[in-house]
Amino acid sequence: MIKDTIVDGFQNAPHRSLYHALGLTAEEQARPLIGVVSSYNEIVPGHMNLDKIAEAVKLGIAMAGGTPVLFPAIAVCDGIAMGHTGMKYSLITRDLIADSTEAMVMAHGFDGLVMIPNCDKNVPGLLMAAARLNIPTIFVSGGPMLAGRVDGKKTSLSSMFEAVGAYTAGKIDEKQLRKCEENTCPSCGSCSGMYTANSMNCLTEVLGMGLRGNGTIPAVYSARIELAKHAGMQIMELVKKNIRPRDIMTAAAIRNALTADMALGCSTNSMLHLPAIANECGVEFNLDMANAVSEKTPNLCHLAPAGPTYMEDLNEAGGVYAVLKELSGLGLLDTGVMTCTGKTLGENIADAENKDPRVIRPAADPYSKTGGIAVLRGNLAPDGCVVKRSAVAPEMLVHEGPARVFESEEEAIAAIYAGRISSGDVVVIRYEGPAGGPGMREMLSPTSAIAGMGLDKEVALITDGRFSGATRGASIGHVSPEAARGGLIAYVQDGDRISINIPAYKIELKVSEEEIARRRETMEIKTRTGVKGALARYAAQVSSADRGAIINRFE
Active-site positions read 468
What span, in angstroms and rounded, lies between the C-alpha atoms of 159 and 335? 37
Q: CB of 141 within 8 A of CB of 52?
A: no
Enumerate residues 6+ apart whose C-beta is below 8 A from 443: 409, 412, 429, 432, 463, 465, 466, 467, 468, 471, 477
Q: Cα separation of 494 and 498, whole Å?
A: 11
For the chain, how far is it from start to end, CA to CA, in angstroms? 34
Q: What is the Cα–Cα distance from 110 to 139, expressed in whole angstroms?
A: 16
Q: Who contacts 419 (Cβ-Cβ below 8 Å, separation ≥6)?
A: none
Among 74, 78, 81, 89, residue whose Cα is nearest residue 539? 89
Q: Cα separation of 343 and 223, whole Å? A: 22
- Count of beta carbons in the 10 Å neighbourhood of residue 361: 20
Residue 268 and residue 373 in contact, taking contact as beta carbons nearer than 8 Å: yes
Q: Classify residue 388 by its DSSP letter.
A: -
Contact 348, 339 (CB under 8 A): yes
Handedness of CA 353, 359, 364, 369 (dihedral sign): negative
CA pair distance 202, 300, nearest whole angstrom: 14
324, 84, 53: which is closest to 189 by C-alpha?
53
What's the rounded Cα separation, in Å, for the pair 52 and 41? 12
For the purposes of burial, counting CB atoms within 10 Å of the CB of 242, is it exposed (0-12), middle (13-18) or buried (19 or more)? exposed
Q: Is 242 left (phi over 0), alpha (psi -120 to 50) or beta?
A: left
| H or E segment to which residue 497 belongs | strand 497-501
Residues 91 and 128: beta-carbon distance below 8 Å: no
Longest Cα–Cα distance in the chain: 77
CA dist 351 and 340 (Å) reads: 17
Alpha-carbon gap, residue 434 to 339, rounded angstroms: 33
Q: Which helix (H) or strand (E) holds 36?
A: strand 33-38
